[in-house]
Structure 1
């Protein structure tokens, strides 16, 4: 899926989520205003927890 982008926030260096196209449309239709994530990784695995919030 290319509709979800995760980059580091320039100020806080925390991961920041930007939604595009279908993902943004789906989130907007549900009233989602922000997606918060926590991520971790090792050499062989990665895990992400995501929480969608509304304003």
Structure 2
């Protein structure tokens, strides 16, 4: 219980630089996830296309 309270207090006392860092990391992670899903979709399409041509 005490650990949770300390974490909540630290969370509320975020500085501006920490908030900006968190937002930046979130954006990087989100874009990376979109990139991976898009590349996997493209990879499946090319594989299916090459199989259809064969």
Q: Same fold (TM over 0.5)?
A: no
- TM-score normalised per structure 2: 0.28
- Write 1 or 2 for the structure with the bigger share of strand: 1
From the CA coordinates, give the structure whose radius of gyration is larger. Answer: 2
- TM-score normalised per structure 1: 0.28
Structure with more relative contact order (C-alpha pairs < 8 Å, separation 6 or more) = 1
